[in-house]
Amino acid sequence: MKLYHIGFSKSDLGDDAPETVLLSGEPERSQYIAHTYLQNVRLLSKYRGLHSYLGNLSDGTPILVATSGMGASSLSIVVNELVQVGIKRFIRIGTCGSIQPSVLVGSIVVSQAALCRQGAALDIAPIEYPAVADPYLTVALVETARKLNIPYHLGITASVDTFYEGQERRESSANAHLQPWLKGITATYRNLNILNYEMEAGTLLKMAGVYGFAAACICAVVAQRTEAETIFISDKDDTVNKAIKVVIKSLR
């Protein structure tokens, strides 16, 4: 039976079913990964904008590419259903904003763990439950980035539920009035040596611990929050492609 949200079932994956999925928030990124880096690509579903593709690496390894949507709530639904169809390894390929002056736009961040400030995760595990990436997948991503001479940073990510208020955006937000506890939160995180903001990794990594799968997260840095709130759209595609290349090379 097809899973309600992802729109396909385990039987749709065939006899040589994939155990690894590459997760992206954008359906366009999922499509790009599948059609650029995989062979024998087949669209499984595009229900609710959650595009999923089945294909193979050049060595024949089956891979699933799936869209998680924006934010932890959507991701939690997709991940739950992907576990039900047999996925055992999850690698999130996303974008992020740097909160450290040394983490520049154009580089990538590999998350070894996450500060998880997300409501969806609280339904899965208590707030003190660690959000930790799989060490083997994480080391593989770092080693590949080093071999490809792609600038990278390894460290802790802040995963929050909102793009504007939760990441202390005021100038670019319709709401300039932050709750008191959010004022100065970016500086606080910077002093805790947190590298970046994003919106999904914390819940994914907590789910990995609870559900028993391996997970990693790699993000392209497309904003430098020590300077401005804006996204560097002109650099986004190139930087995201660096992250994708690291993942594909690691899997090969």
Catalytic residue ranges: 5, 81, 169, 225
Tell me the three state secondary structure of residue 9. Answer: coil
Tell me the three state secondary structure of residue 252. Answer: coil
Q: What is the SS3 string spanning 12-70?
A: HHCCCCCCEEEEECCHHHHHHHHHHHCEEEEEEECHHHCCEEEEECCCCCEEEEEECCC
3-state helix, strand, coil in the chain (%, to 5): 35, 25, 35
Nearest Cα residue to 212 out of 115, 93, 79, 119: 79
Rounded-to-integer distance, Cα 13 and Cα 115, Å: 34
Nearest Cα residue to 66 out of 82, 80, 84: 82
